[in-house]
Amino acid sequence: MTRAQRLREAFTSGRGAHWHPTDALVRGLALGVGMVVLGGLLHEVELVLFGAPLLISTLLALITPVTGTPTVKVHGLPRTGEIGAAKSIVEVDPGTGAEVLAIRLPDPVAGGIGVVHLMPATAREIDVVLRRDAWGEGVDLRPDHLVAGPDALFVHGPITAVERGRVILPPVEALPAGLLPARAVGLVGAHRARRPGDSVELRDIRAFQPGDRLRRIDWRVSLRTSAMAGTAEGTYLHVREHHAEADADVVLALDTRQDVGAELGEWATPARATTVHPLGRSLGEWSLASRGTTVRPGGSLDLAVRAAASLGAGYLRQGDRVGLVDLGRPQLGARPGVGRRQLLRLRNQLVVCARSAGWAQRPVLRPEQVPHGALVVVLSPFLDAEVVELAVHAARRGNLVLAVDVLPQPLRPDPEARWGVSALKVIRLEHDVRLEAMRQHGVAVVPWGAPIAGVLRQARTERRLSR
């Protein structure tokens, strides 16, 4: 029996975390003693020549001290990360007298906890590459290990290690944020407010009033007006009035009640919450279900989360305050804030919302969750009338509402259903009717991926003209 075969047998034996002999040691002693004794009794030299080396090697393994408790520790594994590859270090202390280490290491190409690797016990630090190609929670590393002594006759383990994972944050794409309705809370910000103030954008030219600053006087208009009136008195002085620049509030309203893909035949099938990773076969057939989110790759919720992360990053980059509301579970939202820390908080909360996603009868957007004058961005596939009513009510309260359609396109009918094509036509027509109804009530509608700057500018102009 080879050393690899002995290690495979030790892995599948299911014994505890202590040094213990393998079945190969018992067989080696029994077979070596038996062949030597039988060769001496029968005067067969061949039996003695075959049995003596086996008996001697077994006895040498018995007298070789194998002590200590092997330990495996993971260093440099952050709690959060980005999509792609990351590095970590596995520190190994195999104990005294160990010769071979069998340890499970992640696959740097396919990801997952990987296969079992054989290496000498002299290895102390092992550099591992962790790879995740999708956002969400998941297991990156589980260093199951087994340490073997001389000739694998004594082993420690196998040890099922603790699962180590990370939260992969949703990716952020660089997108133009577009114009926003401003909330005049100060004289700083990136957006134009309705009230007059100090900025570079001209609002009006009016007559001079007591309290106006002299540096705001427009001397050309003042001299021309005085010349036309035939006098140079101060009553004909005019000043330039500018718009104030203010911060803006943005509320990202995420619809987590539905998660559909492009295949209509899969809409009734819930997304799988686990992914089975193939493990190595050289040292036994093992399997592990890695925890993950219940988000369909490329589905509506996946697109909505990516869009929310990208829009939030764009608005925060302008200095605005951005908050998050889960329409299905309002308690999972995040208060408006600014800065890089707020972006990290939003991306983490998006993962939490996706993890708790599920059907709710009605979407909820409370008035206290939306500051006055804030831009409300509703990210939904708009497959029911309830979310449409929510967007319309938010617009009636005086907020500028942007409806971002995240329904995957193009939709494909169920090939196994008799009325698959007809059902697809009905779904498309109902979806178009909902979007048009929101437009008729002053809600700006745009599919995800289309530029939003012009849509928001037109919506703001129409609101100003309607007043």
Structural domains in the chain, CATH included, are 17-63 (no CATH), 71-168 (2.60.40), 200-243 (no CATH), 249-271+288-466 (3.40.50)
Nearest Cα residue to 249 out of 321, 189, 192: 321
- Residue 144's CB is within 10 A of a number of other CB atoms, namely 21
- What is the Cα–Cα distance from 265 to 412, expressed in whole angstroms? 8
Q: Is 211 exposed, middle or buried (0-12, 13-18, 19+ CB in 10 A)?
A: exposed
- Tell me the one-letter amino acid at 225: T
Q: pLDDT class for 16, splitting at 50, 70, 90?
A: low
Mean pLDDT to the nearest integer, 376-400: 95
Tell me the range of 78-82, 195-199, 203-207 where mean pLDDT is highest. Answer: 78-82
Task: Reply yes or no on whether the pLDDT at 366 is more than 70.
Answer: yes
Please give the distance of CA 412 from its chain centroid, rounded to a whole number. Answer: 27
Q: Which residue has the higher pLDDT, 194 or 185?
A: 194
pTM, full prediction = 0.75
Task: Reply yes or no on whether the pLDDT at 261 is more than 70.
Answer: yes
Q: pLDDT class for 260, splitting at 50, 70, 90?
A: very high
Q: What letter would DSSP give residue 151?
A: G
pLDDT at residue 201, as a whole number: 64
The mean of the pLDDT values for the chain is 82
Q: pLDDT class for 255, splitting at 50, 70, 90?
A: very high
| Cα pseudo-dihedral 52, 55, 56, 61, rounded to 10 | 160
- Tell me the one-letter amino acid at 338: V
Q: Which residue has the higher pLDDT, 375 or 213?
A: 375
- What is the Cα–Cα distance from 9 to 449, expressed in whole angstroms? 55
Nearest Cα residue to 130 out of 90, 102, 171: 90
What are the b/e assignments for 21-59, b being 16+ CB within 10 Å? bbebbeebbeebeebbeebeeeeeeebbeebeebbeebe
The proportion of the chain whose per-residue pLDDT surpasses 70, expressed as a percent, equals 82
Q: Which two tokens mark 392? A: 């319309």
- Residue 424's CB is within 10 A of a number of other CB atoms, namely 17
Lowest mean pLDDT among 83-97, 179-193, 368-382: 179-193
Task: Reply yes or no on whether the pLDDT at 385 is more than 80.
Answer: yes
Lowest mean pLDDT among 21-30, 90-99, 327-336: 21-30
Task: Reply yes or no on whether the pLDDT at 111 is more than 70.
Answer: yes
- What is the Cα–Cα distance from 89 to 78, expressed in whole angstroms? 12
- What is the Cα–Cα distance from 308 to 314, expressed in whole angstroms? 10
pLDDT tens string 136-160: 998 999 999 999 988 788 889 889 8
Q: pLDDT class for 301, splitting at 50, 70, 90?
A: very high
pLDDT at residue 91, as a whole number: 95
Tell me the range of 61-65, 66-70, 355-359, 378-382 where mean pLDDT is highest. Answer: 378-382
Nearest Cα residue to 307 out of 406, 374, 383: 406
Asked if omega into 158 is within 30° of 0 (cis), the reply is: yes
Lowest mean pLDDT among 120-134, 180-194, 450-464: 180-194
Nearest Cα residue to 315 out of 117, 146, 176, 459: 176
pLDDT at residue 183, as a whole number: 42
Lowest mean pLDDT among 44-58, 267-281, 364-378: 267-281
Q: Which two tokens mark 420? A: 């698959």
Mean pLDDT to the nearest integer, 399-416: 94
**Element containing residue 28 per DSSP (H, E):** helix 23-42
Mean pLDDT to the nearest integer, 154-175: 89
- What is the Cα–Cα distance from 271 to 395, expressed in whole angstroms? 33
Nearest Cα residue to 252 out of 314, 193, 294: 314
What are the b/e assignments for 313-351, b being 16+ CB within 10 Å? bbbbebebbbbbbbbbbeebbbebeeeeebbebbbbbbb
Do 22 and 13 meet the contact criterion of CB atoms below 8 Å apart?
yes
Q: Which two tokens mark 460? A: 């703001």
Task: Reply yes or no on whether the pLDDT at 188 is more than 50.
Answer: no
Q: pLDDT class for 195, splitting at 50, 70, 90?
A: very low
